[in-house]
Structure 1
């Protein structure tokens, strides 16, 4: 089932919270340039505290920032945007991605496009897409991921054994390098690199893709969004769980992680003319 594009627009867009790519103090002049362009369109800019410290500015803690602003701006690449979405999940703020990276599946506004975008933005000529996230729960603690949750081996010298249940009923046992559980948005990330299918990002489903499985009969599965999957580690060495390639958790033998669709979606601000299939064609060089 395909999710509809949201008809939602911001009721107010006069205050933006900016989060910069970490460990990049060279972004100071870029931030100053972005700030001046936003202010030209009467949008007040606030800087997140860690980003501010990095470039010797004053900033606000994330919770204070999200309470104050109308939308967030991620400045960096897709990795920066993934982190911003996860950290701001509870505040339900739409996120605009400014791309300073190379691939840019998620961050579609380049530096030289900011002014033209803001002209359209302030005239309400933009869209907000609603992207599905997944939620992992282990040891009663929950976290979300925008792209994927990966369960993988602790040691490179051995494979990992994982039992899987759907709605408390055993359906598979995996033996290999690990498993990727990805959202439609994340289908073009790690999932794609191991041969998993691409899903349209507004699809209401998620993927379970084995990584280097011991058996060739193990194939990627597209799962309906209302299912919950429980993965139990049956390997004595335990496992590592990684959210969006950034946040890491450890599991021991017989530990389980439950994964389901998160209660709320991420809201992404895009140009009206942005076309997902054009992005795929450009980034994956289809037809070349």
Structure 2
């Protein structure tokens, strides 16, 4: 009997070889063609022997109702892998919510940059198949817990994976912030705003504000001013166990943004407190993944003339 004639393993046998058997798909359903991509990936997972579910909004907006539709608590309780088909924004949105459940995430890049959704769409079958069977690199990313305090009362709370940004509104004037780290006064800073970024967020807004790149293994935050009045006011790297407090001293229409996906308006005297979250995000990458490969590709290094 030739190898081609040998019986193929049944799906129950194939499932026993899987590291992850129940996978939920979170799609960038606003993007053109996303329905076809999500459906294709769902078929692929099913063929690998996985139970497949869709995140509730993904199911609703793609019309793929042949799969169970789950909200975040249900995903956290029943799924052992979350697969993001989209860009970094999609990953940020769902990652903050799933981190508390310890569900690992994998990203298939259907966006543009893709620093944390790092599997190219055209390469997903081979790379995802290997991950499903336990061939991967795991990467833990710290989150930030932020709160806004007004007259001694917490009026807003949010979690961020990339950054917390306090900036001015549409007015042409700067804002002034009193900055404290671990209860110690740092400075009153006049600028267009201030960014507190994790190592994950060091490749986002903080980078455009002149901040350094932090390797994800570095347990630190970047505090970077946006267009500061005093040019000696430079970005600084802080230990991630620090507590940073920002107080609005002056300026109009200031606001706080969290991963640029949620925001709140601020008043004079408001304090924004940023601490390390008790939760971390588990990211899985293909075997052999390197942060430096990602930087070289996404930032177009080695392309100079």
- Tell me the TM-score normalized by structure 1: 0.92
* Cα 1:89–1:124 shift into 2, 3 Å: closer
Offset of residue 126 of structure 1:
0.6
Q: 1:45 aligns with which of 49, 52, 62?
A: 52
Once residues 24 and 85 of structure 1 are traced to their aligned partners in structure 2, the CA distance between those partners, rounded to angstroms, is 19
Describe the superposition over 1:108-129 as per-residue Cα deviations: whole angstroms up to 9, x where unpaired: 1122222212332233111211
Offset of residue 151 of structure 1:
0.4
Contact 1:180 1:191 survives alignment (8 Å): yes
Offset of residue 103 of structure 1:
1.0
Partner of 1:86: 96
Once residues 280 and 137 of structure 2 are traced to their aligned partners in structure 1, the CA distance between those partners, rounded to angstroms, is 15
Partner of 2:250: 235
Once residues 65 and 122 of structure 1 are traced to their aligned partners in structure 2, the CA distance between those partners, rounded to angstroms, is 17
Q: Mark the runs of 5 or more structure 2 residues left unpaired by the alignment.
A: 1-17
Please state whether the residue corresponding to 1:262 is helix, strand or coil.
Answer: strand
Partner of 1:247: 262
The structure with the larger Rg is: 2
Q: 2:42 aligns with which of 35, 39, 44?
A: 35
Tell whether 2:63 aligns with 1:56: yes
Tell whether 2:229 aligns with 1:214: yes
Please state whether the residue corresponding to 1:195 is helix, strand or coil.
Answer: coil
Tell whether 2:132 aligns with 1:122: yes
CA RMSD of aligned residues (A): 1.6
Offset of residue 160 of structure 1:
0.6
After TM superposition, the structure 1 = structure 2 runs for residues 109-148 of structure 1, keeping only pairs within 5 Å, are: 109-139=119-149, 140=154, 141-148=156-163
Q: Mark the runs of 5 or more structure 1 residues left unpaired by the alignment.
A: 1-10
Once residues 208 and 57 of structure 1 are traced to their aligned partners in structure 2, the CA distance between those partners, rounded to angstroms, is 43
Partner of 2:201: 186
Partner of 2:277: 262
Describe the superposition over 1:217-238 as per-residue Cα deviations: whole angstroms up to 9, x where unpaired: 1000100122101100011525
Contact 1:24 1:54 survives alignment (8 Å): no
Once residues 256 and 13 of structure 1 are traced to their aligned partners in structure 2, the CA distance between those partners, rounded to angstroms, is 43
> Deviation above 6 Å: which 4+ runs of structure 1?
none
Partner of 1:105: 115
